[in-house]
Structure 1
Amino acid sequence: MHWTEMLLSSVSSFALTIMAMPIIIGYFRTKQLGQTTRDDGPKWHEVKTGTPTMGGVVFLIASVISTVWVGVWQKSLSISLGLLLFITLLYGLLGFLDDFIKVFRKRNLGLTSKQKLIGQLVGGLLFFIVYQLNNLPTNLTIPLIGSIDFGWFYGIFALFWLVGFSNAVNLTDGLDGLVAGTAGIAYTAYAFIAWNQQQTDILIFCLTIMGGLVGFFFFNKKPAKIFMGDVGSLALGGGLAAVSILLKQEWSLLLIGLIFVIETASVMIQVTSFKLTGKRVFKMSPIHHHFEISGWSEWRIVLAFWFISLITAVLSLWLVF
C-alpha cells in the first residue's frame, strides 16, 4: 500500500468527520440536549453540563465508510476487517444506547452495568466464534516464555481483552481531548505494526480511525464543543483490543495502552481500598480526576497523558520491530 493511498484513508475519514460534526453539534444545541455531569465529579466540571455529546457517532460512521470504500478499492476486504468492523460497531451500538437513554430519555444512569457487560460478552463471544471458525491463530505469545496455542481457551482471553479494554478507554474519557489523543496515538502505533506485517486490511482500519479522531479533536479540544460519549469510547477500546488480537501483538496493548491500564487500575485500587479499609488511596478516581483535584490544569493532565502514551507507543514499536 503506497503512502499516498494510506494518506487518503485518513483524509477521507477526517474530511467526513469535519463536515458532519457541526451538523450534529447544531442539532444538539437546537434541541437543548447535552451531557449531564456526574454529581460526584469535580465541581468545576458543572460548566460542561449541556455540552453536546455522542460525537463518537460521527467519527465512527466516517471511519466505517472510509474503511469500506478504501478496502474495496485496495481489494483488502477480509475476515479480519469484518471482525474489526463488527466489534467496533457492536460496542459502539451499546454505547449509543447508553448515551441515548441518558440524553434523550433523561435517565442519568443509561444502561445498567450488567446490561452493558452482557452486551460486551455476547459481542466478544460472537467475535471469537467467527475467529475460530475461520481458523485464525489461537496462540498467545507471552514475553520471556514464548508462543502457546490455547485453542478454544483462547476465547476466554479474547473476551477478557475485548471487554477489559473497551471499559478501560471508557473510564479514561473524562477530560477534553484526552481519549482523542491517547487513542489516536495507540491506533497510530498499530498502523505501523500492521504496515510492517503487510496486513493492509488492518492498516486501513487503523488509518481511518486515526483520521476520524483527528477530525473529532478539533471539536473536542478544551473547551470541548462536543464529547464523544460512550458510543465513541466503548467502540475505540473494543477496536484496539481486536486489532491487537488480529495482529497477534496482544501483549503490546498493555504498553501502547498503558494510560488506559493505569486509569482502570486506579479505579480498582480505589474501590478495593475503600471497601477493605474505608480509606481512599486517590483524592478521586479515575486518576485524571486525582490530578485535577491536586491542582493540575485540565490541559496539563491531557498533555502529560499524551506524552506518556507517545513514549510507551514508541517503546512498544521498538520492542516489536
Structure 2
Amino acid sequence: MTNNFKVELGQGGFGAVYKGKLPDNRPVDVKILKASKRNGEDFMNEVSSITKTSHVNVVTFLGFSFEGRKKALIYELMSNGSLDKLIYNKGPGTVPSLSWEILYQISKGIARGLEYLHRGCSTRILHFDIKPHNILLDENFCPKISDFGMARLWPKKESNILMSGPRGTMGYVAPELWNKNFGRVSHKSDVYSYGMMLLEMVGGRKNLRADASHTSEIYFPYWVYSRLDLGGYLRPGEVIASEEDEIAKRMTVVGLWCIQTFPNDRPTMSRVIEMLECNMNSLEIPPKPVLSSPTGSVPKSPAS
C-alpha cells in the first residue's frame, strides 16, 4: 500500500505517517504506530473512538492493519499536512504563513469538530490531545481533528470522567488533568487545549520554548494578555490591516476565555463558535490567566 514506505509525510511521538494508495487508487495516509508501553491502549482508543465519528472536521478513518506487534491506521490523505507546520514562524525560507482569514476559518472548523465530539456523537468523545500537530488540513485547508490515541468515550449521562493519570501534551494540558483541586475532568479539558492552540495560531509561536532565555520565559498567555491589553499586535514586527487585526483580537479573546484556570469558567465549544462569529465589540475581555503548566516555574506577571 505504501510502496515499501517510500514517501514519509511526517513523524510524531506515535510513529510515522506514510503516503499510500488503496487498490482503487485512492490516496491515503498510513500511520504506523511506534511500539510503546501504551501502544495497545493507543491503538484500541483510536479505533474505538474514530469509528464512532462522521464529521467534516474529523479525519475520515478508512481501516487498520494489525499483524503481531505491528499496527497501522489508514486515513484519508490530507494533502496540506498538519497545522503546526504552517503556523509557527521559523524564519525566512520556510513555508509561507497562512492568511488571517484562513486561520480564522481553521479555528472555526476545529471548534465545530470538537463541538461534534462533545455533543454530536452517539457516545461523546473527549480527545485529550488537541494541539496543532493533531490538526490535519486538506487541499482546501479544511481542518480535521486527528490522532485519537488518548481519547476517552464519555457516557452522556455523566458530566465528569474518572482518569487513571494525566493525558495530553505538555503546554496544552488543562490544570485539572494534573491537579484535581482545580476541578473535575470533563469536556472543558479539551476546551483548554483548544484555547492554548488558538493563542499559538495568533502568536505564530509555541507556548513553550525550550530555547527561551531566562529573561524571556514569561508565561505565554501572560504575554498574549499584555499585548491585547496594550492594544499591540500579537505578532511583533508584523503590520496587519484593520480587518485582520479584528480577527486576531477576536481569536485572542476567545483563546483566553478557553484557558481559564477553573473548568466552570471556560465556555463550551458551542459558545466558542458563537464568540468566534460575533462582533468583537460584544466580547468581554476575560480575566488574566493565573497559572502556568505543571512543569514550568511559577509565572511572573508582565509588570514584574
User: TM exceeds 0.5?
Assistant: no
> What is the TM-score of this pair, normalised by structure 2?
0.29
Higher-helix-fraction structure: 1
> What is the TM-score of this pair, normalised by structure 1?
0.27
The structure with higher relative contact order (CA 8 Å, sep 6+) is 1
